[in-house]
Amino acid sequence: GENVEQHPSTLSVQEGDSAVIKCTYSDSASNYFPWYKQELGKGPQLIIDIRSNVGEKKDQRIAVTLNKTAKHFSLHITETQPEDSAVYFCAASLNTGFQKLVFGTGTRLLVSP
Amino acid sequence: GAVVSQHPSWVICKSGTSVKIECRSLDFQATTMFWYRQFPKQSLMLMATSNEGSKATYEQGVEKDKFLINHASLTLSTLTVTSAHPEDSSFYICSAEYAAGPAPVGNQPQHFGDGTRLSIL
């Protein structure tokens, strides 16, 4: 089955700096790659996603890149703000009629003012 | 606003009690719902896939007689933790996959609830 690895496990940056989180997946048939932000005591919230037919996607300060050959994808957050502090999860999915997501291990991002 | 409602948000009960958690899709139909478990500082682990009108599909290592799932309507799935013990204490999260009805904002395949924190004493 699919296996998703995520690095780093923790990331501390100063406000205004950029943050990059990387994930690798094992199943080359996976075709959907979402990123979730989870705040304490809450469920995960989708912040950006990318499908396998696209190499890069951007939404304001957030961008995701996908390298299908290397089977890795990354989340880029620019101009970080303290409210970006949370746990971020990547996931991979193979669309087999419904989306069964396999999550990465999570990255705890701390943005210091 | 929230598109998936999970209830209760937290529950504390004695060992041996059975606990039911509800997951509702608001304003849209969900033929498929997913149940996850998350231990502190860990990732979400899929427990089972719930399909309306049929038996749930459980992931390897998840006891189906321990975690009863019922998906009786297109907007409601329930997870019952039977004879709960302290090791069942965890954060349980559901998600609903949009199938029909007014499309929720975001056009994403799965919409997550805010989770249920279960503590067994």
Q: How far is A90 from chain B (nearest CA, A)?
A: 10
- Say which of A41, A49, A106 has its CB closest to residue B43: A106
Closest-CA residue of chain B to A93: B109
pLDDT of residue B52: 85
Q: What is the pLDDT of residues B35-59, one digit of tens each?
A: 999 999 999 999 999 988 888 999 9
Q: What is the pLDDT of residues B90-110, one digit of tens each?
A: 999 999 987 766 666 555 678
Chain A within 8 Å of B7 (Cβ-Cβ)?
no
Q: Is pLDDT at B9 greater than 90 in this prediction?
A: yes
pLDDT of residue B63: 94
Q: Looking at B1-121, which runs of residues are DSSP E strands?
A: 4-7, 10-13, 19-25, 32-38, 45-51, 57-58, 67-73, 76-81, 90-97, 110-112, 116-120
Mean pLDDT of B8-29: 94
Mean pLDDT of B21-48: 92
State the Cα–Cα distance between residues A62 and A48, nearest whole angstrom.
Answer: 8
Q: How far is B105 from chain A (nearest CA, A)?
A: 11
The verdict on a CB contact (< 8 Å) between A89 and B42 is no
pLDDT of residue A74: 98
| pLDDT tens per residue across all 113 residues of chain A | 889 999 999 999 999 999 999 999 999 999 899 999 999 989 999 999 998 888 999 999 999 999 999 999 999 999 999 999 999 999 998 766 567 899 999 999 999 99
pLDDT of residue A12: 98
Residue corresponding to tokens 């957050």: A77
CB B49 within 8 A of CB A98: yes
Mean pLDDT of B109-119: 92
Above pLDDT 70, what percent of chain B? 90
Closest-CA residue of chain A to B113: A43
* Inter-CA distances, A12 with A76, A85, B25, Å: 14, 9, 36
pLDDT of residue B72: 83
**B59: buried, middle or exposed (CB in 10 Å: 19+, 13-18, 0-12)?**
middle
Q: A64: helix, coil or strand?
A: strand
* Inter-CA distances, A25 with A3, A33, B83, B101, Å: 6, 10, 37, 33
